[in-house]
Structure formats: C-alpha cells, structure tokens
Amino acid sequence: MTARFEDRAAAGVALAAALGPPPPHAVVVALAGPGLAVGLQVATAWGCPLDVVGVATLGPVDQPAWGAVGEGGQVVTTAVPPPDAAAVVAAARLAATAAARRQRGALPVLDLRGAAVLVVDDGAATGTRLRAGHATVSDRGPTSVAVALPVVPAATLVTLQAALGPVTALARPFAVRAVRWAYRDQAVASDEDLAAALAARRG
C-alpha cells in the first residue's frame, strides 16, 4: 500500500475535512496512544473539547488477542476467554487506565453527559480496541457516539459498522498489515509531547 498520509497529524487534518462541520455539543475522544495526534487535529478544526480514553488488548503479546478492555472495565471479546480471564482483564484494565493517565496527566476526565462524541484513533487493524473504547465512552452518558478513522481494512470496517453503526474511514486497504503503512512518517510522538499538546488544547 502506498502511504496515504504524511503523518498522523496530517491524517487528522484530512479526517476533519472529510467530517465537515461538528454537531452541536461535540466532543472528540481519542484512544490513548498515537491516536491522540489525530484527535488533536480534529478537535482543533472543530473547536471542541478533547479527551482520551484508555484501552488495552487481552491476551499474550505474541499471540492473537482474545479481546480488549477499556479503562472503565468494559470488555469486548472476540474469542473464548482463557481460564484466567478475570486476572488478565484486571491487569489489562490497570494498563488501560495508566495509558490514559500518561496522556491526560492531571487534567480531569471530561463529562460526556449530553455530548455528541466522536471516537477517533490513528487506525484499526481488527477494531477490537476501538470497540472497547466505544463501549467505555458510551457508558458515560453521551447523546451519541460516532467513530472516525484515517485508515481501516475493508473487512474490519464492515465488522465495525455492524457493531457500532456508521464509521467514517478515509483509507480502506484490503490487508490488515497495510494499516501501519498508511503513514509515510511512522514516528510516534511521545506520551509527554502528546500530554503537553492535550493540556494546551484544554487551555
């Protein structure tokens, strides 16, 4: 796959342009990690609040994940959980919470009650983490939760749309492994830099 975006910031700018004007009471929530670089650009273009949500995959790092969990404990499974699932989920939830704290810092979690939330990430190979993030945000009382991504495999997009409803996606490669190659510059900003950018965005 030929690189579609210069970097994640450029992808965020393109995504914001594709989305058009924000809905009333819009809030952008990015999955903690590289997706915050995308979310920063969308929130800036929309002139709306921005937050992050922590998620973590479930399963050994050298094997396919059997699910994901959000920082609020929302679990999405894609396979039969192992016998030690409860312990795995508990540890992963701590990791998800820590991921969000690294980028949110001392900022408060935004109150999403009554908000029109847009969940964004820099891409989704299988969509499991995104579904866990969507579930976490949905439990916080928004009026609506939409999803937007710069890149997602065509098959994953179908799965996400079936589970979550309409999903805005700019690039739709056929191969899962092509997601990372959507970016010419694959460098990822540090948590410290992204945390500083989020703090500046909050003012």
Split into its structural domains, the chain has a count of 1
Q: Does residue 20 belong to any structural domain of this protein? A: yes
- How far CA 137 is from CA of 27, 87, 108, 113, 146, in Å, comes to 11, 23, 15, 10, 10
Task: Give residue 64's pLDDT.
Answer: 83
Q: Does residue 73 belong to any structural domain of this protein? A: no
The CATH number covering residue 129 comes to: 3.40.50.2020
Question: How many CA atoms, within 13 angstroms, populate the side-chain half-sphere of residue 124?
Answer: 32
Average pLDDT over residues 173-187: 83
Spatial separation of the C-alpha atoms in residues 161 and 166, rounded to whole Å: 5
Q: Does residue 59 belong to any structural domain of this protein? A: no
Average pLDDT over residues 59-83: 93
**What confidence tens digit (pLDDT) does each residue in 3-53 have?**
689 999 999 999 999 999 999 999 999 999 999 999 999 999 999 999 999
189 pLDDT band, cuts 50/70/90, is very high
Residue type, 42: V
**What confidence tens digit (pLDDT) does each residue in 135-146 have?**
999 999 999 999
Residue 113, Cβ density class (10 Å: 0-12 exposed, 13-18 middle, ≥19 buried): exposed
Task: Give residue 1's pLDDT.
Answer: 54
Containing domain of residue 138, as a range? Answer: 8-54+102-196
